[in-house]
A and B are shown apart, each in its own frame.
Chain A
């Protein structure tokens, strides 16, 4: 079983739609959680951190459910520019630097006009 699992998609949605991605992680001792966005042939960029209380940043809402070891990302009012691969990332803190990030395989989103 992968440490961080995501539905690879693609999710094809029209502009203005609401779309949700889920991610599950296997290590119950994981310490922190993030959503990154990666455009084609580019480096990943931090979209938002995910807190136990949930957090919202504009059209983006992230939630963490520790009991089910599930992380979600909700995008409202999708824009064409939201088309990208969304990476679920978990910090297990295992390596000496205490900051080992484990990446999910990514979920590809394509927003159509």
Chain B
């Protein structure tokens, strides 16, 4: 149980385009999902916390108008990187909490999406 999927796993796009990344909890309901970014040889940095039915909470330094987050259902959160630029190239990882599960405090991570902006 507690499986989180992400789609796409890899995307290459041109500068200026928008890219949507989906994060799904497959076998549990996730009222809260988290979006992280990881640059090469660096650790994961939390970008935002996505709450079902309400606005996302962004970490300091993360532009909410550039990284649009929608958490419309209990099993799906999307991150849209708008007007992507080469410096947005990174590994984007989502995670979700299963609040009803035995490990309610544990975050389960998706496999990540590798974004390359040319």
List chain A positions with a Cβ less than 8 A from chain B.
Answer: 32, 41-46, 87, 91, 95-97, 99-106
Contacts and interface: CB of A to CB of B under 8 A. Distances in A.
A45 B44 contact: no
Interface pairs A-B: 6 shortest CB-CB = A43-B109, A103-B43, A97-B32, A103-B44, A105-B43, A43-B112
Interface residues of B, number: 22
B51 A97 contact: yes
Contacts of A104: 43
A13 B97 CA distance: 35
Instruction: Please report whether the interface of chain A is mostly helix, strand, loop or mixed according to DSSP.
Output: loop
26 contacts: A41-B114, A42-B111, A43-B93, A43-B111, A44-B44, A44-B93, A44-B109, A45-B109, A87-B43, A87-B44, A95-B49, A95-B57, A96-B49, A96-B51, A97-B34, A97-B57, A97-B97, A99-B32, A99-B97, A99-B105, A100-B46, A101-B34, A101-B46, A103-B44, A103-B45, A104-B43
Instruction: Please report whether the interface of chain B is mostly helix, strand, loop or mixed according to DSSP.
Output: strand
Nearest to A104: B43
Contacts of B34: 97, 101
Contacts of B97: 97, 99
B57 A96 contact: yes
Given A41-B112, A99-B107, 4 more contacts: A43-B93, A43-B109, A103-B44, A105-B42
B91 A41 contact: yes
Contacts of B107: 99, 101
A46 B106 contact: yes
Given A95-B49, A96-B51, A99-B105, A42 B42 contact: no
Nearest to A34: B106
